[in-house]
Amino acid sequence: MAARPLALIGLMLGGIAAGGGACTAPTAASCGDRFCPSRTSCADDGKCVVDIGACSKFEDGSECRRSDGTRGACLTGSCQDSGQAGSTSGGSGGASGGTAGSASGGTTGGSAGVGAAGGATGGSAGVGATGGSAGLGATGGVGGTAGTAGSGGSTSTACDSAVDGASCVLPSSATGMCSSGTCRTVTTFSGAIGRADAPVGVNGALVALRNHPGAPATSSGANGAYQISVPSIADVSLRIAKSGFVPSVTAPIDVATYGAVTSALPIAAVNYWLGFHSAAGVTRDTTKGSIVLVLDTKLGETDLSTAGALTGCAGPFYTDKGESLPDPQALGLLRGTAIWLNCAPGTYTLTASHPSLACARTAPVASPTLPVEVMAGSNTLAGTITCE
């Protein structure tokens, strides 16, 4: 079979690199005369700073990097503004609600007005109005004045009734994005959309955030370049579409842990994809979808890596790196893609094996064992399984 250039390898999710500073999650990297631990990176002043989204792995008070480029301190699993992290983020406003009354009145008011948990959750517990009114009780004197909302008290309620993807305001006054009822910091994805059968960028492809209908979409520009804002959550997924091409969707990416990523993503022209099916001996069924997985074997190995069969799919079919059409006789490969065709819509768990190496899905996918979703008429870009 004649070799044809293939962007499917270089443009797969397997080519995603975590963005950031001198050291890249999740491996350790040098910082002057020492090494930064996992999930930290070297800052300009030579300090090891907790990476974006990694505070859940570190103690409260650890210096961390925020999505807007500033530094903060870890608090209850997230990187807060240093000033907010040093307080209870809004509880004191509610606590003052009932203490100003007489003993009998103020006692009731005081207990109701405690709102220390309010800022920590970014929610309404820090609002002190309840404390103030309770302080009017019994025969005591005038109850305490109503406490004011703590810093960041509107963070959760701002997204309670908003559609996912809508804009919101973070405690730092920066613009965030609503996701599952919470205002999240915003991270930027960038990269290029390219043809799956040739190293050519695709202009005018629509790039949208899945499951966040309120988020602005974008279109690829010159040479397929794109940039899109996404929330800092553990399961970000994109959809790429253009007339004359089969839509591509990405497996979930853990932005909360790995931060901004640069990803080059492929999209298959309909005519090319029909030819791919024909070479594999399969008739394309548009009511079903496909899974495209990069399979990578440790350099120097001669034994092939093999992807597991999936019930409900045809394949896997293997395409060596540098090829654009499958070899129906291939039983595995060293480096290239494993592709399952005509998969019934649903979720699938991908596996791979090697005679002597351990195989696992690699970052920045949300989880190595997370099932891959297939949708009718689309190609799911499942990331990479590496055997090493």
Task: Determine, yes or no, domain membership for 238.
Answer: yes
Each residue's pLDDT expressed in tens, for the chain with a length of 388 residues:
333 333 333 333 333 333 333 333 333 344 544 456 667 777 777 777 878 887 776 777 778 888 777 888 888 778 888 655 444 333 333 333 333 333 333 333 333 333 333 333 333 333 333 333 333 333 333 333 433 333 333 344 478 888 999 999 988 889 999 999 999 999 888 889 999 998 899 999 999 998 898 999 999 998 999 999 999 888 888 999 999 999 999 988 888 877 777 778 999 999 999 999 999 999 999 999 999 998 888 888 888 888 888 999 999 999 988 788 998 888 888 888 999 999 999 999 888 889 999 888 776 665 555 678 999 999 999 888 888 8
CB 101 within 8 A of CB 140: yes
Task: Determine, yes or no, domain membership for 124.
Answer: no
The pLDDT assigned to 315 comes to 93
Q: Residue 315 is part of a domain; what is its CATH number?
A: 2.60.40.1120
Structure tokens at 285: 């069924």
Task: In whole angstroms, give the CA distance from residue 326 to residue 260.
Answer: 33
Per the structure, the count of domains in the chain is 1
Task: Determine, yes or no, domain membership for 235.
Answer: yes
Task: Determine, yes or no, domain membership for 1.
Answer: no
Task: Determine, yes or no, domain membership for 253.
Answer: yes
Task: Determine, yes or no, domain membership for 358.
Answer: yes
What is the pTM (predicted TM-score) of this model? 0.61
Task: Determine, yes or no, domain membership for 108.
Answer: no
Q: How far is CA 127 from CA 145, 154, 156, in A?
A: 12, 9, 13
Task: Determine, yes or no, domain membership for 110.
Answer: no
Task: In whole angstroms, give the CA distance from residue 118 to residue 154.
Answer: 10
Residue 293: enclosing H or E segment and its boundaries? Answer: strand 289-297
285: containing domain: 7-17+185-387
The pLDDT assigned to 348 comes to 92
Task: In whole angstroms, give the CA distance from residue 338 to residue 318.
Answer: 5
The pLDDT assigned to 331 comes to 87
Give which of 13, 2, 9, 1 is closest to 321, Cα–Cα. 9
